[in-house]
Structure 1
Amino acid sequence: MSTPARRRLMRDFKRLQEDPPTGVSGAPSENNIMMWNAVIFGPVGTPFEDVMLAKSKDSLGIPKCDQFEQKVLSQPSYSGLYYLINEERMFLFRTFKLVIEFSEEYPNKPPTVRFISKMFHPNVYADGSICLDILQNRWSPTYDVSSILTSIQSLLDEPNPNSPANSQAAQLYQENKREYEKRVSAIVEQSWVDS
């Protein structure tokens, strides 16, 4: 059944495929356009980045990403890893998994977005829900899936400790940035092992 929400989601998906933003990817689940899987690359220069040099891609079975723009060249992977090959070296990039659930009221009502990957961040609740103004009181029907994902990626780089979902992370971010970055790195490393 075609509804305004479903038609809009098809347009969002088409736009995401034709003009993918750097460092994010998303697609509807196989049987339900109202439920999407998405991945976000950790922003460069942050503790979420977590790039690792690997010796070989043999038997990894992970998708390749564009070296310069970090655009995912295949559907979102739930392994949490993407690779690129530069000359004779291979780098693994950490990605963070999300689920986006839309209602029939989309785009007039924001979707529910939740990290599946474990996160330590001032604006991410323990259940993975995200405290982000555009997903709440500042929502506009002009936002699409691309803008949602890029806003979340920006939030990883620039947390808002004044609107915390995780008060411990917010306090560390404001008072002891080095310890905050250590905690983020530990969580990122652990989620890499758990993938």
Structure 2
Amino acid sequence: MSSATPAMLRLMTDLKAIKSEPPEGCSASPVDESNLMVWQATVSGPDETEWEGGIFSLRFTFTERYPEKPPRVRFCCDMFHPNVYTDGSLCMDVLQDQWSPCHNVSTLLSSIQSLLTDPNCSSPANPEAANLYLNDRTAYKKRVRRIAQKSLENC
């Protein structure tokens, strides 16, 4: 077996941690055991929110520069959220300028889950969602409920 790179060693540590203590309502693992660099993950919508009951799938793509550089993270399901671009990628400070090697897959999943109910509308990836969130919360919640229900069909 070829020697493991620092990124692979860190990903093995992250995998062990998420298996032993997964964040509430989250899961993640490599898509294929032979490739630690691409993971699939799920985040459940937090209880008592418009996201409740939804199960949202994500893909994490790591590079050899992990954990110095963050992974690319994308939702693989329909999303309607102020901080999610139409291609599913996230606009999130912890994946950009606030990244630190102390973050791992578990902390990222927890951050993504809390972002669902606490969006940052000051620099939206989806201006329509941000506008509805700020100006017509009822319409926003209705649209999110549809997305949450649809997510269950795609699991």
TM-score tier, shorter chain, comes to over 0.9
Give % identity: 49
Query: Which of 126, 136, 147 is 2:86 aligned to?
Result: 126
Moved beyond 4 Å, runs of 4+: none
Q: What letter is aligned with 2:9?
A: R
User: Equivalent of 1:38, from 27, 36, 41?
Assistant: 41
Structure 2: give runs of 5+ residues left out of the alignment: none
For 1:22, the equivalent position in structure 2 comes to 24
CA deviations over 1:48-107 (Å, ceiling 9, x no partner):
113xxxxxxxxxxxxxxxxxxxxxxxxxxxxxxxxxxxxxxxxxxx31000000000000
Instruction: Give the root-mean-square deviation of aligned CA atoms.
Output: 1.1
Once the two structures are superposed, the pairs formed by residues 61-80 of structure 1 within 5 Å of their partners are none
CA contact (8 A) 2:71 2:95 kept: yes
Larger radius of gyration: 1
TM-score with structure 2 setting the length: 0.94
Give the corresponding residue for 2:12: 10
- Please report how far the alpha carbon of residue 191 of structure 1 lies from its aligned counterpart in structure 2 after TM superposition: 3.5
Change (3 A) 1:170 1:23: same
Larger relative helix fraction: 2
Separation in 2, partners of 1:193, 1:5: 34
**Separation of aligned partners in 1, 2:116 and 2:43:** 10
Q: Are positions 1:139 and 2:99 aligned together?
A: yes
* Structure 1 runs not aligned, ≥5 long: 51-93
Is 1:99 the counterpart of 2:59? The answer is yes
**1:153 aligned residue (110, 113, 129):** 113
1:47 is paired with a residue whose SS is coil
- Distance apart, 1:123 and its partner CA: 0.3
**CA distance in structure 2 between the aligned counterparts of 1:110 and 1:194, rounded to whole angstroms:** 27
Deviations 1:162-193 (A, max 9, x none): 12000000000001101100111122223333
For the residues of structure 2 that align with 1:193 and 1:29, how far apart are their CA atoms?
A: 20
The Cα of 1:39 is off from its aligned counterpart by 0.4
- Give the TM-score normalised by the residue count of structure 1: 0.75
Amino acid at match of 1:146: S
Letter in 1 for 2:12: M
The one-letter code matched in structure 1 to 2:48 is G
Paired with 2:83 and 2:109, the residues of 1 have a C-alpha distance of 15
Report what 1:81 is aligned to.
none
The residue that corresponds to 1:176 in the other structure is 136
| CA distance in 2: counterparts of 1:192 and 1:125, whole angstroms | 21
